[in-house]
Structure 1
């Protein structure tokens, strides 16, 4: 086990995290703190000097972090300074003070490196192929064009939420003419980017301004899921939100639900930058990334040691689910992989009947692996505990709706429950079609769970066929007695008929095979957390 500290010294905030890497290369966040230090405050374009007050605020934080690292037995430190230190004439001397006072070795990274690391943080945590990425900080904005999951162009512009605010004196009430002046200035800067896409393109945003805008939008709409990463903010709502913020005084902005009070003075300039980037990209929505530079630093260290083959990006969701499971105090047995293999077998063989796509197969795969996580809370009602854990787990590679769908599949792995739905506020972000898909996949998982009720893995083969009249399931077992699984799946037959609008007919073939095909498929899932 090793612990790695990551420090991102930005122009507005300083962020500090500790990541723990354990068995199988599994990793998890064990500590996090963020502090607004306004390092770029008072640093004009003419003087380009970090003020003594700003340096002292940063040194005070870093001294605390050095102590925490000692207590947490951190052996590796990845610490970088971005635009404010990069642009300051006294930036290098400031980092010498940091090393002398705290012992923390900090590196100034270029705008190009900052863009590359930010892209890595997003590419490892949001599963998109083509998009425009921007990371808006206090003193700079990094913009990258991504095609087929590769960063093809990047630029760092030395303008951020803090520097724009000071340039236009927009911390208080801002008149309409000045709003237009800021917008025109930003538009001219963006027009100088020769590779900026002319056709509509998805936009992913990173940074405190982006996260705060998303928080305000979520609060205003009573969004039921407490999660910002991969949240989609519709462009119409974004523009209306920015217009509303720009029309308020500083005191009024401090009272906006979801907006950090410490950001109320710089939000107008930052929000206008976000708006103009999204407008120029002609995107229909802005996707918020809660991951960026810090995660990029982590994966820059992690990948060459623990993921040389790049398997994480090949199936981000399943890789992330397995990583999450490895960090839990679960007693693993073969049952989890075996049930998952049976559920996937039914999904594949009945594909022409249910017509669900491969993405839904991935969700069923994830639910299969996660469906018993609730036992770490309590065996009683563990399906509902599994649903809560899944809905709140730090797992990458799926949308908010997909995460809730997976949680519901876990909740129903012993059968459908309308009572649970009525008490679950997350359900309202799903459409009727998505709820129907949940019920289908939950039936495959609950049937697989019932077939291994005794945890004996005695089901060796499943043959699933469908006609207009019925769904047929032929079950081959390695034992002569199949009373336990037959009893466990009996109550699901009615649910199958209701969901698929045709009866389920089950035939049993006891003692018919010595080879367990399903166990072989379970092994191929490569899930062995306690070995």
Structure 2
């Protein structure tokens, strides 16, 4: 075989419509082989009603992976339509029938992996994103709109409008209205209302990348290519043609069946509104997928490549911190101190690169609860974060961030607390360790005046000496440190001691 098996990685990804397999060469990030299941029963896009189709396809994929000698493969699925308990039940049913463990992806993770894939694989992305560029990802349950500018991720928004929802609304409208397109247009417009104040008055031209538009991909993207470009005038001509056409014409024109045709007009209505909203001049349709993003992460994880795509997660955290008006200088100072502590204490905390990122994110967002009320702000921070999942983080990781924020101030994690009780033991330890580090860092900037220029750390048996370099009065910082150091000692069995070091002028 041309490709060495150890270079290959198998990605199985399931949506509410079908299951897909991609075998990818991690060195080139090129797809070697791909396969798809039949579409699920279009009368019900619920996983539980299609369990036989799912498991038959998965077992077939496992045989194909063995034929290619692929030993490294994982199975992911879109969790947008499932609550945590239902996902757990379904995952167990699949495991019993296939021996595959499913890794569920939430909306924020899907947005992250799709964006990562486009950033890496779209040929002209760097050039496009020099100016304002948006990525519109058409998900099964949600649509996401991400903004890039000056070749950097800027922000993302979720739109409560997905393929399944559109299918249900379209089917319901046809028998009861003489003009379903007009009603659909109003319905879609209502879902975009929360974006209008964001883009009101911003008329600088932008580009729009459209992802997961099956019909557009089939019609326009040439074989062997990953995208097709057109301008807004060309799209307008196509739009006027599509919204007045019959289903049969659309099925023939886009080469799709009845599973896809019901989505075409609603998605054109949505895209048309987005184009007007953000003043789009250039449109790029791409067939780059979630699986491409998952392959990039895997290549990063095993050291084949370095993408630095985690910067999107940090930017998303900065966005929410800015929205809730926290002090930028304070969160930067706390982050610097906390990450220094993390790096110097690796041999006692035994946490990895991912936990370091979670600590950085927690440093950024821990104080957002002050926007609600300064009293008990840490509790407010926690429930805000529980309701606003950060892009690129799993449900568990988002929960860790919320709990570390809850315990970064005066309240400590204890066994009798319901929030702490419900966490898995392994997660409890991560929360306790990260909260202990954050509390020390937060104490060292309690005055919000950046009095400490740098710190050094030394371990001496059951003591940790933190030397804080400053010529200013650190009375407040010392008092706060003494109040917040108990958690560190309780978790690690090491007593933190703060000493001030004067600096030579």
Q: TM-score range by the shorter chain?
A: 0.5 to 0.7
C-alpha distance in 2 between matches for 1:414 and 1:181: 50
Q: How does 1:77-476 map to 2 (within 5 A)?
A: 130-136=9-15, 138=17, 141-146=19-24, 148=26, 150-153=29-32, 155=34, 157=36, 159-162=38-41, 198-199=70-71, 201-206=73-78, 212=81, 214-215=82-83, 218-219=84-85, 235-239=91-95, 279=98, 283-288=100-105, 290=107, 296=114, 300=118, 304-305=128-129, 306=148, 314-326=307-319, 328-331=322-325, 332-418=327-413, 422-424=417-419, 427-431=421-425, 433-476=426-469
Deviation, structure 1 residue 380: 1.8
Report the secondary structure of 1:463's partner residue: strand
- Comparing 483-492 and 302-311, the one that deviates more: 302-311
1:383/1:413 contact within 8 Å kept? yes
Cα distance in structure 1, aligned partners of 2:362 and 2:342: 13
**Cα pair 1:203 1:286 within 8 Å, conserved:** yes
Segments of 5+ residues of structure 2 without an aligned counterpart are 1-7, 130-147, 155-296, 298-306
Taking the aligned partners of 2:494 and 2:21, their CA distance within structure 1 comes to 53
Partner deviation per Cα, 1:270-320 (whole Å, 9 max, x = no partner): xxxxx6xxx3xx533343454669984898597741377688973444522
**Could you tell me the TM-score, scaled by structure 2's length?**
0.52
Q: CA deviation at 1:506?
A: 2.2
Q: Report if the CA contact (8 A) 1:130-1:146 is conserved.
A: yes
- CA positional deviation for 1:456: 0.8
Q: Give, in angstroms, the shift of residue 201 of structure 1.
A: 2.0
**Hey, what's the Cα distance between the residues in 2 that align with 1:358 and 1:471?**
22
**Alpha-carbon distance between aligned partners in 2 of 1:462 and 1:343, rounded to the nearest angstrom:** 10
Judged with a 3 Å threshold, the aligned counterparts in structure 2 of structure 1 residues 372 and 154 are, in CA distance, closer, same or farther, namely farther
Gaps of 5+ in 1: 1-128, 167-172, 221-230, 241-274, 515-531
Post-superposition Cα deviations, 1:250-286, rounded to whole Å, max 9, x if no partner, equal xxxxxxxxxxxxxxxxxxxxxxxxx6xxx3xx53334
CA gap 1:354/1:289 in 2 versus in 1, 3 angstroms: closer
How well do the aligned residues superpose, as a CA RMSD in angstroms? 4.4
Cα deviation code 1:404-457 (max 9, x no counterpart) = 222221112214434797242x752321x4323322221221122111111110
Separation in 2, partners of 1:298, 1:356: 25
Q: Is the 8 A contact 1:144 1:152 kept in 2?
A: yes
CA contact (8 A) 1:388 1:407 kept: yes
Aligned to 1:499: 491
The answer to whether the 8 A contact 1:136-1:160 is kept is no
SS for the counterpart of 1:161 is: coil
The superposition leaves residues 326-371 of structure 1 with CA deviations (integer Å, 9 ceiling, x where unpaired) of 2552334311101111111112222223332222211111111111
In the alignment, structure 1 residue 484 sits paired with structure 2 residue 363 = no
Judged with a 3 Å threshold, the aligned counterparts in structure 2 of structure 1 residues 513 and 375 are, in CA distance, closer, same or farther, namely farther
TM-score (norm 1): 0.50
Contact 2:413–2:432 (8 Å) recurs in 1: no
| Contact residue 458 and residue 477 of structure 1 kept, 8 A | yes
Partner deviation per Cα, 1:495-528 (whole Å, 9 max, x = no partner)? 3332222322222124x255xxxxxxxxxxxxxx
Q: 1:296 to 1:154 in 2, by over 3 A?
A: farther
Residues 159, 380 of structure 1: CA spacing in aligned structure 2 closer, same or farther, 3 A cutoff? Answer: same
Give SS of 1:454's match. coil
Q: Is the 8 A contact 1:416 1:439 kept in 2?
A: no
Q: Do 2:9 and 2:72's aligned partners in 1 also have CA atoms closer than 8 Å?
A: no
In structure 2, C-alpha distance between the alignment counterparts of 1:342 and 1:372, rounded to whole Å? 16
Cα distance between partner residues in 1 of 2:152 and 2:20: 25
Q: Is the 8 A contact 1:318 1:366 kept in 2?
A: no
CA positional deviation for 1:192: 7.3
